[in-house]
Structures are given as structure tokens and as C-alpha cells.
Structure 1
Amino acid sequence: MVLYAYVRKEYPASTLEQLRMLSDYKCEEVFIEENDISNGHELERLVDCLQEDDQLLVYDLRAFAKGAKDFKQLLEQLTRQNIRLISLQDKLDTEVSQQFYSDALLVLNMEEKYRKYMIRTSLEQAKLAGRVTGRPRVEDDVISKIVFLFEKKGKSMREIAEICQVSLGTVHKYIKKNMGTKGPEVC
């Protein structure tokens, strides 16, 4: 049973304040994440280190800086590994609050289902109102032009994308389809 700590620089409190609060605990290692919310390299390293029955200490659950979907995945992993989660500001200790994981996952599952329902309903309403949803269809003459420019004129995929005013991915898709299962070299 190893105790690890996780800190995100300057969020949700100053790094110094978080480290001061965590210093009362004998942590094997403290993982300090950059302030950049999109960055999660240290959290990934931490999760890779966690073994069954280890403990994870954070100043505040907000330090994970996760949306509902990613937070749900993190909690599922911690649950599978029977990780004791301690959050000082939230006054949470999953050894004491044994229902935390199941309660949090219940709410996160409900939120996910609601979000999917709202998206589906909005798309249906948009279709009923006559709005076109989804990606625009690529016309047959544009597809023919893509294939012609690639095979007969030797144009690069980037050049074709600019000429035909479509994405590079669209060009790649139709060239690959035209060539069968053998895909073209990416330019």
C-alpha cells in the first residue's frame, strides 16, 4: 500500500498551499502537473504507477481538471484497482465514505445519458425543421476530380484538397477507396 499525491500547479489553489497541506502525509511520490488544463501527463504517469490497494491524495478533486466523461473514466479505474482516494478540501476519504465511487459514477452515468438524449433530441428537431445535419455530401463530380488529379495529374493530396476545396482527410478517403484496400502514401 503506497500513498501518492497529485498536485496541479496553481489550481485549484496555489502550488505552495497544496504542497503545504499535503506535507502532513508521508507520500511515496508527489506528481506535480503543469497548470495547462489540457495537459495530463503527470496524471497519466501517476495512474500507471498505481497498484491494487494504493492510496491517492489530492488537495481538491478539482486538481484532476477533468470533464464528466474523463472524470468518470478515472473513477472507474480507481474503483477497479480499489484505490483509496483522499481529497483534503472535499473532506473525502473513500475508506470512510465507501459509497463515494458508486454514487459519483451513478451521477456521471446519468449525466452522460442525459447529454446523449439532448444531442439526439436536438438533431431530430433540427431535421424536422428542415435543417441539414451531419457532414456535407461530397458530389460525384468532385470525387472524380480528386481521383483524376491524383492518378492522371500526379498532384499531391494537399494540392488536391486546395483545388477541390475539401479537407485533406476527404481527399485521402476517396483516393484510398478508389485504390481498393491499398491506401496511398500520405503527402
Structure 2
Amino acid sequence: MEKIGYVYSSLDEMYIKEQIEAIKNFGVKKMILDEEEFKELRKGDELIVYELKSLGKSITQLASFFTYLDKKGVKMTVISKCKDYPDVTDKQFIDLVVELADLESFIISERTTKGIQIARRSGRVGGRPKISKEKVEEIRYLYHNQSYTLRKIAETCDVSLGTAYKYIHEQD
């Protein structure tokens, strides 16, 4: 149960010094510089960051990072918050970021689905092209009756190894 500061190692040395100074002034003795060290955080620890951008993550990455910390039982404190919202607690802010990330994922999913529907209506079909029943029968015949190897079947039938494997082991 200790306060641990995280310093984002950006290319800007002044920003690194600014983070270190602020974290030290917050009373933190131990600092980590590498995201790999997040694994060493224990239940009850408090992760101190200078500001959210010092985590260097997108909003969806932030949300999953916050969830990760929550599951580990690690509290997070942001030293420098937006000046427009001084009364917002770290917990409220984290909850807001998670909600925004969910919203962003939903919007991306909706746009993708709409795009696929529009493409289908205009005659475009995604995915891999289907192979004919005759080709499937040929693949199975060569495997079961001629004892061809998968590689030889793939070459003979002009399909990938994965496709040959799929149709050999697929039940009708």
C-alpha cells in the first residue's frame, strides 16, 4: 500500500522534468517509467500521474486501463486536472472516460454495420469468395480416396491450406 508515481517518457525532456517535479511535490517516493511495471502494482496501491495525457493512451485504451486498475484494486490520482472542472473527483472523471469510451465503441460499431449494409445494397459482398460444391467434392475425394496430402490438394485445387483443411474436416 504505497503511492507510486508514473512518469510518461515523452521525447520532451522538459515535460518529463515537469512530471517528476509535480509527482515528488505530491509526496511520492517511488516512481515507475515503464508501462510493464504496472503489473507490479498491488491491491491498495495508489497510482499517481501528472495528467491523463501523460498516460499516452487513446480514450478506449484509457477506459480499459482504468478497468484493469479497478480489478487490481489500485486507486488512481491525477494531479493536474482540467481547470474548468475543479470539483470533479478522480473517480467521477474515470467513470466519465469509461462512459465516453463505451459511446465511442458503440458509434464505431454502428458506422461499420451501416457501411456493410450500404455496400451489400449496392451489390458488394465482403469476405472471402465461396468455392463451388464441385471443388469441395474434389478436395474431399483427393483426400479420402487418393490419399493426397493437404499441401498437394491445395496446389491441385488452387486453394489455401486452410481451405483444404476446412473442407476435409467439415461435415455436410
Q: Name the TM-score, length of structure 1 as normaliser.
A: 0.64
Q: Distance in 2 between matches of 1:166 and 1:144?
A: 13
Give the superposition deviation at 1:64.
4.7
| TM-fit CA distance, 1:154 | 2.8
Matched, 1:143 2:136: yes
- Unaligned 5+ segments in structure 2 are none
Tell me by how many angstroms 1:51 deviates: 2.7
Letter in 2 for 1:74: F
Partner residue of 1:130?
123
User: Displacement, 1:58?
Assistant: 4.0
Q: Equivalents in 2 of 1:32, 1:124: separation in Å?
A: 43
Aligned counterpart, 1:169: 162
Cα 1:171–1:106 shift into 2, 3 Å = same
Q: Which has the higher contact order (CA 8 A, sep 6+)?
A: 2
Q: Does 1:26 align with 2:26?
A: no
Partner SS for 1:133? coil
1:76 Cα offset (Å): 1.7
Question: Deviation of residue 112 (structure 1)?
Answer: 0.9
Matched, 1:54 2:45: yes
**Per-residue deviation, 1:115:** 0.8
Q: Number of residue pairs matched?
A: 163
Q: Deviations over 1:145-187 (max 9, x none)?
A: 3333444243234x54444443433233222225x9xxxxxxx
From the CA coordinates, give the structure whose radius of gyration is larger: 2
CA, structure 1 residues 135+78, in 2 after alignment: closer, same or farther (shift >3 Å)?
A: same
Q: By percentage of residues, which structure has more helix?
A: 2
Verify the 8 A CA contact 1:7 1:15 in the aligned structure 2.
Answer: no
- Match of 2:63? 72
Measure how far apart 1:73 and its partner are.
Answer: 2.0
The equivalent residue for 1:184 is: none
Mean alpha-carbon deviation: is it higher for 135-144 or for 114-123?
135-144
SS of residue matched to 1:99:
helix
The Cα offsets for residues 51-96 of structure 1, whole Å up to 9 and x where unpaired, read as 333222345545655444443222222234443224566669xx94
Distance 2:120 2:72 in 1: 44
Secondary structure at the residue paired with 2:32?
strand
Amino acid at match of 1:51: R
Whole-Å Cα distance in 1 between the matches of residues 143 and 57 of structure 2?
43
Map of 2:76 onto structure 1: 85
Q: In percent, how many aligned pairs have the same letter? A: 23
For the residue of structure 1 that corresponds to 2:34, the secondary structure is: strand
Alignment correspondent of 1:185:
none
Match of 1:106 in 2: 99
1:14-43 per-residue CA deviation (whole Å, 9 max, x = no partner) reads: 47953773372311x62525xxxxxxxx1x
Query: Root-mean-square deviation (CA), in Å?
Result: 3.6
